[in-house]
Each structure stands twice: as structure tokens, then as C-alpha cells.
Amino acid sequence: MRPSFSHALEENPAPRRLGDVRLRFESGRLIGESLPPAFSRRLLPLMCLVGATACALGAVACLLLEPTQSLPLAALLSGLCVGLVGAALWLEARLGRRRFVLHFLPRTLRLEYLAWAPSTTRAAWVPFARVQAVEVLERAPQRYALVVDWQLEGQPPQRAVLAEGITALEEEALLRVWRLLMNAFGLKGAGLAGE
């Protein structure tokens, strides 16, 4: 870490929470993890999978008991099973779980987010030098998101959400995290970057 950034981090530590993200600083890295969604939202994909299993078992039972007469019912249950599995995957992806880690020594940003299949994550590694901007976007009146823009060599520009659901009451914490990120990435406009 550069002396100016290290000094800024000592005087202006990151808050413990920003919007839907829990923040912590440990051994040369800043970790931001989205808070777990409500229990009911986590339960919905599982309920869809339980329903899909029941539909699949019902379709098999129909075909074993009365194969000729229950073919339309078995087809209906099979279609419902496929629809419920699709709904489970869609709901799981909508949970919006994500994590970012700023590694100060190798000077890289790691972004992790849920992939299409449950419990699998994808990660992107972004060198600090490739980060082009850290922006605050207004999503709705008095609701903000903190995003980072970057471009790797030979690829189109990309954007990732670091924190979502930031309220006007968190303005001071948002400013502190924005300044911390701007200085970490060496971007101008935060007070220390470029000095």
C-alpha cells in the first residue's frame, strides 16, 4: 500500500456495513459480503425443488399404475416439474448474493457472484490499474448503489455492484467507502489519489 492510502485507512476506517453489504478489514484486504436474504426468500427455491420432486414422482407413479390412461396427467406433471426447477434456478439467481475483496498487496479486486446453478460462484480478478471509476448511482429517491467500472485488455468495459440499497442515512459511510476505494485504485477526485 502507498503511504498516503495507508495513512487514510488508519484515519478513516471502513464502516462495518454499507447498504446490503457487511464490510471487514483483515490482514491487508477489505472484504465486502452481501447480507444473507430473508429466510422466506432463501426458502422459496428449496420449496420449488421439493414441488418439482413431488411432480416427478407423481408422473412416474402415473406411468407405472395406468400407463395408457394417465399419459396426459404424467405429461402435465413432467412439464410442471421442469417449470418448478426453472423457477428454483431463477429465484436462486435473484437472491443477488455477491462478495468483493480488495487485496492491497497484489493490488487486485476479486468479485464473486452467484452463477446460474445453485451454490456455484464465478469470480473475476481485476488489477487495480484496470479500474476506471467508482460511482454512486441513484436507484430510487434516497436509495443508492456503489458500483465499480473496469476494462481488461481486449475486453469490453464492465461494471459490478459493490453495495446496493444504500439509504440517505448512510451518506457519511458511503463517502468514506467511496474515498477508500478511489484511493486504493489510484483514481483522482477522492482527496489523496494523485497526490
pLDDT in tens, 2-30: 444 545 555 556 789 999 999 998 878 89
- Per-residue cell: 97: 448474493
User: Are residue 26 and residue 49 in the same domain, yes or no?
Assistant: no
- Per-residue cell: 135: 460511482
Prediction pTM value? 0.69
Query: Could you report the per-residue pLDDT of 51-65, keeping only the tens digit for each?
Result: 999 999 999 999 898
Greatest CA separation for the chain: 80
Residue 195 lies in a domain: no
CATH number of the domain encompassing residue 170: 2.30.29
16 neighbors 22 (Cβ within 8 angstroms): yes
Residue 190 lies in a domain: no
Which letter, b or e, does each residue of 88-108 get, where b requires 16 or more Cβ atoms within 10 Å of its Cβ?
bbebbbebebbbbbbebeeeb
For range 31-41, the mean pLDDT: 84
User: Are residue 78 and residue 162 in the same domain, yes or no?
Assistant: no
140 neighbors 37 (Cβ within 8 angstroms): no
How many domains, the chain? 2
- Per-residue cell: 13: 476506517
For range 151-156, the mean pLDDT: 92
- Residue written as cell 446460474? 116
Helix, strand or coil, per DSSP, at residue 115: coil
Domain hosting 80: range is: 39-94
